Structure 1
Amino acid sequence: MATLILGLVLFLGAHSVRIVADDFRARSVARLGEKPWKGLYALVSVIGFVLIVWGYGLARQQPVVLWTPPVAMRHVAALLTLIAFVLVAAGNVPRNSIRAKLGHPMLLGTKVWAFAHLLANGTLADVLLFGAFLVWAVLCFRSARRRDRAAGTVYAAGTVRNTAIAVIAGIVVWALFAFWLHAAWIGVAPFGVSA
């Protein structure tokens, strides 16, 4: 469990600098330069991510079960993760209506993804992993919205074409992940389909 926690601290800590220490980030970028700062940020993030994956895998070998969610929660989680994938896709497709309306759909997608997994899983490792991502995404979204208001940020109006691309891309990637990649990479088949 310590490996998972260390990974979460490194990964989410690196991704929280703008939330808790935006002035420190600005000074560091000015002192180090943008590329070295991004390189350090990427290095810490990759190390954190590797530790999360490794730590979660270790924790799953001897799970500490806190509760057993009802089977219906799997169906709720499947629907919520579909929404999450569409939101994440909308965060990466320029000039779409979802991004124009929500501002930071990728962070909202992370919140929905984490919440869905908390509903469908009841081990201590799940609560640590998905709970940490949920709390981080809530705080990060608040911080991003505050920065938008302070800067007077207005997101470009979305086009029908780009909105459709975001929605279709989210659905396609969700289907690939739900029906194949989740089982292949994580060892859990959300719909009981073997890898």
Structure 2
Amino acid sequence: MLVLLFGLVIFFGIHSVRIAAGSFRDEQIATNERRWKGLYSLLSIIGFVLIVWGWSLYRPNAPEIYEPPSWGRHVASVLVLAAFVFLAAAYLPTGSIKHRLKHPMLVGIILWAIGHLLANGDLASLLVFGAFLVYAIVDLIAVIPRGDPAPAVVRPRSDLIAVGIGLVAFALFGLWLHGWLFGVSPFA
């Protein structure tokens, strides 16, 4: 469990700098943007690898905290599919999805986390998906004071591309990568 907790602290620690110490982050970027981005990326990758590794080590022995609802896996599939579409939309030129959500990646993380919490009731999953859910909600709330305007629609076609990428990624991940990476096949 320590590997998992250590990974969560590293990953969310670096991701929370903008929320908790925005001026420190801005100073680091002003001083040496490449160094900051390199450190941020390195700590993010290390944290994420430790989360995945720690989860896979702890999950077989993790106590069951709650019984997921019988319909949880079905709803999880729909939520995760939407999350893949929103994640794709976050990195494409602005379409209606990005315009309406403003922060489609955070909304996608929220849906992904809720879906996984509906499908899993063990403590390892609760720690991982609960941490992602709490972080995404806090980050979404933290951007409100900044008053970011909704990005203007640049390419309406981006939504179709986001749906296409999301569907392909969902299929590849659900049918092959999820089982290979995590030992759990969501469609089995």
TM exceeding 0.5? yes
1:111 match: secondary structure = helix
Q: Would the aligned equivalents of 2:100 and 2:150 in 1 still touch at CA under 8 Å?
A: no
Shift of 1:121: 0.3
Which sections of structure 2, spanning at least 5 residues, go unmatched? none
Q: Give the deviation of 1:20 after TM superposition.
A: 0.9
Following TM superposition, by how much is the alpha carbon of 1:28 offset from its aligned partner in structure 2, in angstroms?
Answer: 2.3
Cα distance between partner residues in 2 of 1:171 and 1:91: 15
Q: Which moved more, 1:183-192 or 1:137-146?
A: 137-146
Partner of 1:28: 28
Is 1:3 matched with 2:6?
Answer: no
Alpha-carbon offset, residue 46 of structure 1: 1.5
Superposition RMSD in Å: 1.3
Counterpart residue identity of residue 57, structure 1: S
Identity of matched residues, %: 49
Deviation sequence 1:48-100 (CA, Å, 0-9, x none) = 11211111111023121112213311101111111111111111111211001
- Structure 1 length normalisation: TM-score? 0.91
**Secondary structure in 2 aligned to 1:69?**
coil
Residue 175 of structure 2 corresponds to residue 190 of structure 1: no
- Quote the residue 2:61 is aligned against: 62
Q: Which stretch has the larger CA shift, 37-46 or 73-82?
A: 37-46
Matches within 5 A, 1:1-195: 1-31=1-31, 33-147=32-146, 149=147, 153-192=149-188
Q: Distance in 1 between matches of 2:2 and 2:23?
A: 30
Cα deviation, 1:10-50, whole Å, max 9, x if unaligned, reads 0011111111110111122233x101111111121111112
Amino acid at match of 1:166: A
**What secondary structure does 2:186 align onto?**
coil
Deviation at 1:9, TM superposition (A): 0.7
Q: Report the 3-state secondary structure (helix = DSSP H, G, I; strand = E; otherwise coil) of the residue aligned with 1:8.
A: helix
